[in-house]
Amino acid sequence: MRIQRVFMMALMALLLALPCVAGAEIVGRTAEGYIHRYTADNGQEIYFVSLEEDAMVRYDDVNFDGHPDLAVTVALGASNARYEFYLWNGSEYAYAERWTGDIFNYALVDGKYLVSHRNDGRAGLLFCTEICVWEDNVLKTRRTMVSEEETDIQWEGRVMTQTTNLDRLHVILRETDGLAGAANVLWEKTYAPPSDDPGFFEEVNARLWEGLRD
């Protein structure tokens, strides 16, 4: 499918554009995964847990302050890589607190946005994208867009019936209120699946960034 080819080409381009990576060594194991130790460029030993035996550490200025930070791979799948971050604070790397969902396949946009994009299947038609910003070195969600198969829930007494329509997609965009922390719906739309129509991605991407980019 053309959409699948476009998605894979974009993902490969992103991976090739990212800074070089280095491996970490396994020093133990927990129920959550392997305990890794990585010696950073300043000699500091960073310990983290990853599902992967071959966990990778990437130097990247993820908070846009002009100094490279550490992006650690904590899980890696066929379409999704999940990350945690350690920020350079002038003397050492410190774990980055975040008020977001898990960070997948991140991209740095416009020198101020960190974008997480999780591919949930159907050649990229199903996804979750978060636009995140840094506030006092805490990563926070600004907007979230989710595309999923349309689901209808009906209750009869204490019996719940859930119906999923595989021929229709529901896309919803929410924006987080920084003061109240509530997620307000900005836009939503239901589509018949645009199986080979790139116009779908053009529209949802335009809606995702509407009002955020000049």
Over residues 69-106, the pLDDT tens digits come to 999 999 999 999 999 999 999 999 999 999 999 999 99
Nearest to 83 by CA among 64, 100, 104: 104
Mean pLDDT on 120-135: 95
pLDDT at 17: 46
Q: Residue 2 pLDDT > 50, yes or no?
A: no
pLDDT at 125: 92
Query: Could you tell me the pLDDT band of residue 193, with boundaries at 50, 70 and 90?
Result: confident
Nearest to 147 by CA among 91, 206, 190: 190
pLDDT at 81: 97
Over residues 40-77, the pLDDT tens digits come to 999 999 999 999 999 999 999 999 999 999 999 999 99
pLDDT at 214: 66
pLDDT at 19: 52
Quote helix, strand, coil % in the chain, to nearest 5.
15, 55, 30
